[in-house]
Every structure is written in C-alpha cells, then in structure tokens.
Structure 1
Amino acid sequence: MSSQTYHVPQGGLPPQTDLLSGRAVFTNAYAVIPSGVQSDIVTSYLPHWDGTRVWVLARPLSGFAETFSHYLMEIAPAGGSDSPEPDRDAQGALFVVGGKLVLKLADGERELRPGSFAYVPPGCAWSLHNRGSGPAQVHWIRKLYQRVPGLAEPEVIVTNADSVEPVSMPGTEGRWATTRFIDPADMRHDMHVNIVTFEPGATIPFMETHVMEHGLYVLEGKAVYRLNRDWVEVEAGDYMWLRAFCPQACYAGGPGRFRYLLYKDVNRHMNLRQGAPLI
C-alpha cells in the first residue's frame, strides 16, 4: 500500500453565509485557483466518459496556458471511458490521488492506486475505469506531442511514486527533492510531470525565471509562493499556473511537508513561425 497521502477534492458548495472574498487570482503572468473554489458548480463533463465529472484547471487560452490542459477527474464506481482521448496527436499523463482505477492498454490491464503515474504516448489505445466501490480521483494532463525527425516516440510508462527514488536538489541535503517519473535525459519527451517535495523550512532560494510553462497542483501541506511580484499563500488542493518566464520562488513554512504535482514543457526548440509545428 502507498505510504503517501494526496489531497482529494471535496466538491460541494459553500454556505450562503460565507463571505465572497477569497484567494483566487488570475493575471497575465500567473493564476491561482484555490481548492475552495473547486466546487460542484464549476465541474464539466466530457464526451464518452460515464459517471465522471471534471475540474478543468488549465486549458490552452489566450493569456493563459499555451502548451497543455490539466483536468482533475472524479470517476464514480462503474464510471470511466473506453475512448478517453479524442486527439491522436495528444499525449497524456495520469496521476491518481484517490480510489482505485483500472488502466487498459494493448498489453493488458494495470491497477492504479493513489500515487500511480501513467504516461500514455500519442496514438496509444487505452481505457480507464473505476471498478471499485467508491469514487476515484485522477489528474489527467494532456499535451500535443511535438515530433522530431530522427527521434522515436516514447513508450508507455506505468509506475508509482513509492517506487521512484526522489532526487535531491544540489546542496539541499534532501530538503528539496523531485520525484521524476520521466528520465530528464530522454529527449523523446517534450513534457515532464514530477512531484516536488519541500521539507519544513526548505526554499527555492532565488527567483527562478525561465522558459518553461508550469502547472502546479498542491498535493500536501502549505507554503508561501512568490509569483511574479506577489507572495501568495497556498495549501493542499490549490492550483497554480505560471507563464513562461514568470519569476517564482517558494518558502515551505511547515509544520509538515509541502508537495506539488508539476507539469512543464521541455526539450524542444522555440517556435519561430506562428502556426508552424514545433520541432
């Protein structure tokens, strides 16, 4: 069994007596979607998915996410899909945070539990179903795959966070570490989905300012995050989107660990022609 715990969305609606003020922020450099606004009223539904509702946390949009979409799916017992992905050029990453799911691939079925990660290459036939007695929750990150002449496409990856040894950032003695589901040296991949973990008191000790677009979902704990010019308090269940080159830093104040699921685009040339494919 998994030794990790992950935030699971609660849904529901706040009472009529609640104040309207909150922590939601949407700017042209970053956005914060707090867990408290991920209520029943903002869920979506998708074709060919039964018994499933979706919180769409990021989507390609002018002034917002450009390279990816991020869904948080809640799948009821007997729910799921035999035709989940409508775009043959889209790759996907799945990360389970609650319940149990069955992922069916060409070579058979895999049971996914909290902490399970699956990478599904473009054009790969797959299905996902909840055969358990309770609801299951899974993150689904989608990105159009950027093919490169001379590079083969990646294969399927199915693993669990418990089976991946976190890699410490240099000079941090494990206080800041990354669980890497995809080999950073594998140039076939144009996106990475990792878990980043900070022990209490650990920091990102400088203002990271770089080309990768980020999507961050807080799995556990709380911290103060620097986004562009602002310090923002975040906690489990919050989602952050960071535009490319948005300055960022972090301070994990405790009392427990601070962990988030991180998406970033990697390993490809910059697009110099509007509308042309990226290679």
Structure 2
Amino acid sequence: MSQSSYFTPKGGHPGQEQLLTGRAVFTDAYAVIPQGTMMDITTSHLPGWSGMRMWVIARPLTGFAETFSQYIVELQPGGGSNSPESDESAQSGIFVTHGCLELTIEGTSHALSEGCFAYLPAGSSWSLHNTSDTPASFHWIRKLWQPAPGLSKPVAFVRNEKDIAPNVMPDTEGRWATTRFMDPTDMAHDMHVTIVTFQPGGVIPFAETHVMEHGLYVLEGKAVYRLNQDWVEVEAGDFMWLRAFCPQACYAGGPGPFRYLLYKDVNRHMPLGL
C-alpha cells in the first residue's frame, strides 16, 4: 500500500449546476457522512490555533456519538498550536493522512509523516506544528479517559502503521486484517484506534452486534456496508458512526483494498447512572 493512498478532503464548493443528491444518512442507529459533504462551508475553527481549519465528523450529541469526538484537521505551512487541548481529562489520538508534522510531547519532538499515529494521554503537555512548506492533514480523535481501580494512565507513543504487522482474522484466508495501534491486553486503554483492511471480496460474514460504539473513516477503496437494516455504499473519504449494538457487516467491492480508521470504546464497566 502506498502511503499516499489515504484519502484527504480538500474542501472547495460544488457548482450551481450540481444536483441536490447525495448519500448522507442520519438515523438513531447509525450515520453516514460522505466525502462530498466536506466542503469549505462545513469547516470549523478552534481558538489557540493558527493556519488551521477542520471538519467535525463526530461529537458527543444525544442520538449520535456518545463517547468521542473526531476532527479532520487541515494545517497550513507554519500553522499549529502550542496548547491544542483545552480539557485536562481528554486523551487524544492523531493519525496523519497527508504531509508532515512536528509533534512535541512533554518536551520531546517527534516527526510525523503519513501513516503515523500518536497517542496523547489525558493531561499531557503537547504541541503540534506544520514545519513543512506544504499543507498537512490529520485525524484528531478525543475521548475523556475513564479511570479504573489499579490502573494508571496509558503512556504516550508514536508509531507508523507500516511498522506494525497486521493481525489477520482467523479463517479469512488473509482477506481481513487489523493493524492495532494500542496493545489490546493493556487495560489502561479505554479506547482503541486501529486500521481495518479488507482485500477485494473480503467480508464480515455475520451481523456484528456488540456494545462498542464505532467511528469508521474510509481511508481507501469502497464497499457495501450493512448498517442496522440497510445496505449502504461507502467509499474513500466517507465517515460512518455506529451506535452501540447497531448490527454491522460489510462486503469489500474492490478492485483494490478497502481500509478504514476505526475508533471504539473498550475495557470499562457500563455506567449504571445518568
């Protein structure tokens, strides 16, 4: 896989000759936010940043995402922030899809290229800048870290997906694999971020129904996804949100691999109070 194959929105605005058609869907069980909705008019901005704009594709909202927020950030040359996070309880995951960035964590600098993932624990001191002469783009996933007895916060790390051996799902002939950024045996992590890869013709051959909330951003390829009672077509640049227990399955349509960046909440008791 070429590192340049990660889909990155470029903004712009559709012409007046375009028809009012699209694939956007918002239900009480799932949502599909297609790449075509990520235009200039739907961008947002944050204080404390320079040279940035972003598309908010998930946020805590009744009837929508409940555990996390996710942004696609576009950062111009020289842009960045010395204080990106305003919430001391928020942990972050950064995944670079285009360009190069300089990330500093607790005084230590890291060069991030396409395919790099950085985990930033809640309360850590970090900054992020585009020191190159071309724009850069990255996904920023945020979740409140949930303490648990006997567990300390996870430690920060930086990894590139090309350096991680994918975990092949059993009995799939190599057609379904997961690249895991977090150690699944480390109970300190209450969220996992992974890249899921299906080769052409690969399938999830049953309706997965489980407690994890999912955010799926399609990095590459296309597929038909089963969400609740519906089959929907998705392609590179689309985002899907799945509520807990929403049945899900998929069929990778080819001709190339179908790959997505996946968020899910894990490893904690279910809250019993409001």
| TM-score after normalising by structure 2 | 0.98
Q: Does 26-35 or 101-110 show the bigger shift?
A: 101-110
User: CA–CA distance in 2 between the matches of 1:177 and 1:107?
Assistant: 35
Residue 142 of structure 2 corresponds to residue 142 of structure 1: yes
User: CA–CA distance in 1 between the matches of 2:200 and 2:107?
Assistant: 42
1:31 is paired with a residue of what secondary structure?
Answer: strand
Structure 1 portions without partners, runs of 5+? 275-279
Q: Which letter does structure 2 place at the counterpart of 1:18?
A: Q
2:5 is paired with a residue of what secondary structure?
Answer: coil
2:270 match: 270
2:43 match: 43
Q: Report 1:18-57 matches (<5 A).
A: 18-57=18-57
CA deviations over 1:1-38 (Å, ceiling 9, x no partner) = 96462001121001100010110000000000000110
Q: Which letter does structure 2 place at the counterpart of 1:17?
A: E
Asked if the contact 1:189–1:267 (Cα under 8 Å) also holds between the matched residues in 2, the reply is yes
1:260 match: 260
Q: Report 1:32-111 matches (<5 A).
A: 32-111=32-111
1:255 is paired with a residue of what secondary structure?
Answer: coil
1:277 match: none
Asked if the contact 2:4–2:98 (Cα under 8 Å) also holds between the matched residues in 1, the reply is no
Q: Which letter does structure 1 place at the counterpart of 2:143?
A: K
1:150 is paired with a residue of what secondary structure?
Answer: coil
2:186 is paired with a residue of what secondary structure?
Answer: coil
| Cα drift, residue 105 of structure 1 | 1.2
Asked if the contact 1:217–1:260 (Cα under 8 Å) also holds between the matched residues in 2, the reply is yes
User: CA–CA distance in 1 between the matches of 2:54 and 2:203?
Assistant: 32
Q: Report 1:95-244 matches (<5 A).
A: 95-244=95-244
User: CA–CA distance in 1 between the matches of 2:47 and 2:173?
Assistant: 47
Identity %: 66
User: CA–CA distance in 2 between the matches of 1:87 and 1:272?
Assistant: 24
Q: Which letter does structure 2 place at the counterpart of 1:127?
A: S
Asked if the contact 1:201–1:253 (Cα under 8 Å) also holds between the matched residues in 2, the reply is yes
| Cα drift, residue 75 of structure 1 | 0.3
User: CA–CA distance in 2 between the matches of 1:224 and 1:98?
Assistant: 26
User: CA–CA distance in 2 between the matches of 1:215 and 1:247?
Assistant: 14
Asked if the contact 1:214–1:263 (Cα under 8 Å) also holds between the matched residues in 2, the reply is yes
1:36 is paired with a residue of what secondary structure?
Answer: helix
Q: Which letter does structure 1 place at the counterpart of 2:255?
A: P
Report runs of 4+ in structure 1 exceeding 3 Å deviation: 1-4
Asked if the contact 2:3–2:115 (Cα under 8 Å) also holds between the matched residues in 1, the reply is no
Asked if the contact 2:199–2:257 (Cα under 8 Å) also holds between the matched residues in 1, the reply is yes
| Cα drift, residue 173 of structure 1 | 2.3
CA deviations over 1:91-112 (Å, ceiling 9, x no partner) = 0000000010000112410000
Q: Pick closer, same or farther for the CA change 1:137–1:3 going to 2, 3 Å.
A: closer
| Cα drift, residue 151 of structure 1 | 0.7
Aligned residues between the structures: 274
Q: Which letter does structure 1 place at the counterpart of 2:161?
A: A
CA deviations over 1:199-228 (Å, ceiling 9, x no partner) = 000000000000000000000000000000
User: CA–CA distance in 2 between the matches of 1:2 and 1:178?
Assistant: 17
Asked if the contact 1:2–1:162 (Cα under 8 Å) also holds between the matched residues in 2, the reply is no
